[in-house]
A = this chain, B = another copy of it.
């Protein structure tokens, strides 16, 4: 370990992601973050194809002159934006709590169950929101995600509590 740590302190760094539970967290965190990021081009796609813009200067992307009539609100664009907002409100807590939870050294099988359930619930949530599927499908997928993050937060706090 000594000679490795001489490489500018990288030893403890690269060893960090050697732990399977951190590799699993990194994989699922990347998946849900990429899913969330996809909402941006999806919004752009709807804005460009339906010619619905939030800024006057954006209308030049589809029109030769600025067109005030294209600065408007569209229900499908708003639906994607609400889905994106719901992602922010739920995926941000997951990645923060999930990282710290993964650092408490939980059982790998238990951690994987949390990560998989969360990723699955959020992918289903997006399908349920954008399609849309009849309720309570979206409500239930949202609740599953909230419960997973709460469960990790409980394990985290009960392990590290230092007020």
At the interface, is chain A mostly helix, strand, loop or mixed? Answer: helix
Most central of A33, A41, A61, A102 by chain B CB within 10 Å = A33
Q: How many residues of A contact B (CB 8 A)?
A: 74
Complex: how many Å from CA A82 to CA B33?
Answer: 20
Are A37 and B146 within 8 A (Cβ)?
yes
Q: Nearest Cβ in chain B — how far from A160, in angstroms? A: 4
Q: Kindly list chain B residues whose C-beta atoms are within 8 Å of the C-beta of A30.
A: 97, 100, 153, 156-157
Complex: how many Å from CA A72 to CA B39?
Answer: 24
> What's the number of copies of this chain in the assembled complex?
3
Chain A positions within 8 Å of B, measured between CB atoms, are 1-2, 5, 8-24, 26-27, 29-31, 33-34, 36-37, 39-41, 54-55, 57-58, 60-61, 79, 82, 84, 88-90, 92-93, 95-97, 100, 102-105, 129, 132-136, 138-139, 142, 146, 149-150, 153, 156-157, 159-163
Are A37 and B100 within 8 A (Cβ)?
no
Most central of A54, A135, A149 by chain B CB within 10 Å = A135
Are A12 and B12 within 8 A (Cβ)?
yes
